[in-house]
Amino acid sequence: MKSIFIDCSLGISGDMLASALLDLGVPHSIFADNLLSLKIDKNYKLKFKQADSEGIRGIVCIKNESEFKKLSRSLNDIKNLILDSSLNDYVKKKSIRVFEILAEAEAIVHGNKISDVHFHELGSMDSILDIVNVCSAIDFLKPYNIYFSNPPSGKGIVSTSHGPLPVPVPTVLEIARQKKISLMVLDDKYFGEITTPTGIALIATFIDKFGKSDQINIKKIGIGLGSKNISRPNFLRVLLIDENDDYIENNKPSYETIISQEAWIDDSTPEDVAVLIERLRSAGAIDVICYSVDMKKNRKGICIQAIVCPNYKNLLREVWFNYSTTIGIRENKISRWILPRRIVSHETKFGKVNVKQTMRPNGQISIKIEHKDLTQITLNTGIPIEEIRQKLIVELSEFYELDDWFF
């Protein structure tokens, strides 16, 4: 089962990731074809060459400084450019999704509508090509899973079209907030941007999991160098890995390690416990349960248990200690197997409903209609909820879109 691990612990940008994927073995002809597919002026030059950064060998992207960098484009401009190209559907879809993530963040940062967002640096042909090249490379590799390390925050001040901005720039911070991506504080002498908006938007688009799989065999390593000469090695690496997993088909369960945190509390009211549970969920808990326990001195208490992905464990600890009466929590690593699933919207004769699809190991797909949608329909129509459920299950029985599954 071939997957890739993208180690961006020293930083990530679109050109660094594209260079690393090229070094991993993606044919250069794919990137050359993208220039033709996007109908880019023949005078535009995009080169990749062998280089080194503080003694580390890798591939660096060399771009020509031209009038292309000065163009400002709206999201619709970029969508039309991509949709009018001869890129395949997967590359079009993923490339547009990267720009949508960027536009959503820019709109919040600047207090605009998404339709009013104009990309300056991000609208340049350089940035468009970086994103399309990465999407094309991943389409070529077709990895089973894509893992990322947590990207670094960086520090200092950078010059932008809006003037000087602190690092991380607002767009990077907003994407990190929206997509719940934890930024790593790097003990670094370099002052400047090392995680770019394009880089973190690519993470948000392609991330399956943070951290590597528990058991891997490294097959190949690709190194992409940054274009800046800084006081330390400036590179990103991509590992092609073979995961030791008996379940190698797309419809098989996925194994992962998660964290269990729990506390036994006997001095809080039920109302306070309810607020704590909601805060834990809002902070990123996968799920929270509680049940009655007998504590010391025969006191009745409540055990509250939260399960959480490892990259949210620190945030949840703050919730426990700031918003509950506990003076300690138990924390353990636990394992789980999960099936691929997706949540999609579909138009039915009752209106739009949200449906969770789950792929079973035998290839069958089960569906479950969101209960709040069923409730709204029964309130609107007066039809019993079970009757609506049965009618929708029949109507949705052939609704099997097979892309964008997640674990």
Residue 367 lies in a domain: yes
Q: Which domain holds residue 45?
A: 2-243
Residues 6+ apart with CB under 8 A from 328: 263
Q: Is the pLDDT of residue 134 over 80?
A: yes
Of 270, 308, 310, give the one whose Cα is nearest residue 290: 270
Residues 287 and 364 in one domain: no
**Which of the 8 DSSP states describes residue 164?**
E
Residue 357 lies in a domain: yes
pLDDT score of 123 = 52
Residue 248 lies in a domain: no
Residues 199 and 216 in one domain: yes
Residues 83 and 208 in one domain: yes
**What is the Cα–Cα distance from 338 to 361, expressed in whole angstroms?**
11
**What is the Cα–Cα distance from 20 to 29, expressed in whole angstroms?**
15
Please count the other Cβ atoms lying within 10 Å of the Cβ belonging to residue 147.
22
Domain boundary among 187, 210, 243: 243
Residue 405 lies in a domain: no
**What is the Cα–Cα distance from 201 to 179, expressed in whole angstroms?**
9
pLDDT score of 402 = 46
- The number of domains in the chain is 3
* CATH code: domain of residue 318: 3.30.70.1380
Instruction: Return left, alpha or beta for 383; rule: phi > 0 is left, psi -120 to 50 is alpha, else beta.
Output: beta
Question: With the CA atoms of 249, 253, 258 and 262 taken in that order, what torsion angle do they form, in degrees rounded to the nearest 10?
Answer: 180
Mean pLDDT value across residues 207-236: 86
Residue 249 lies in a domain: no
Q: Output 244 or 67, whichever has higher pLDDT.
A: 244
Asked which of 192-196, 210-214, 243-247 is least confident by mean pLDDT, the reply is 243-247
Residue 308 lies in a domain: yes
Residues 190 and 229 in one domain: yes
Residues 227 and 304 in one domain: no
The 10s digit of each residue's pLDDT in 266-309 is 999 999 999 999 999 998 899 999 999 999 888 899 999 999 99
**What is the Cα–Cα distance from 334 to 95, expressed in whole angstroms?**
36
Instruction: Return left, alpha or beta for 156; rule: phi > 0 is left, psi -120 to 50 is alpha, else beta.
Output: left
Three-state DSSP class for 310? helix
Residues 200 and 145 in one domain: yes
Residues 292 and 184 in one domain: no
Residues 53 and 97 in one domain: yes
pLDDT score of 246 = 45
Q: Is the pLDDT of residue 364 over 80?
A: no
Residue 402 lies in a domain: no
Strand order in the sheet with 146-148: 46-53, 56-63, 216-225, 235-243, 2-7, 146-148, 209-210
Instruction: Return left, alpha or beta for 75; rule: phi > 0 is left, psi -120 to 50 is alpha, else beta.
Output: alpha
Residues 194 and 107 in one domain: yes
Please count the other Cβ atoms lying within 10 Å of the Cβ belonging to residue 402.
12
**pLDDT tier at 132, thresholds 50, 70, 90:** very high
Q: What are phi and psi of 363, to 5 degrees?
A: 95, -10
Domain boundary among 315, 338, 361: 338
Residues 47 and 107 in one domain: yes
Residue 228 lies in a domain: yes
Residues 264 and 225 in one domain: no
Q: Output 369 or 134, whichever has higher pLDDT.
A: 134
Of 336, 309, 310, 323, give the one whose Cα is nearest residue 263: 323
The 10s digit of each residue's pLDDT in 150-176 is 999 888 888 877 788 888 899 999 999
* Tokens (6 digits) for 53: 């950064």
pLDDT score of 355 = 87
pLDDT score of 68 = 47
Residue 152 burial class via C-beta count within 10 angstroms: exposed 0-12, middle 13-18, buried 19 and up:
buried
**pLDDT tier at 70, thresholds 50, 70, 90:** low
Residues 158 and 264 in one domain: no
**What is the Cα–Cα distance from 395 to 117, expressed in whole angstroms?**
39
Domain boundary among 215, 243, 271: 243
DSSP, residue by residue, 52-102: EETTEEEEEEEE---GGGG--EEHHHHHHHHHTS---HHHHHHHHHHHHHH
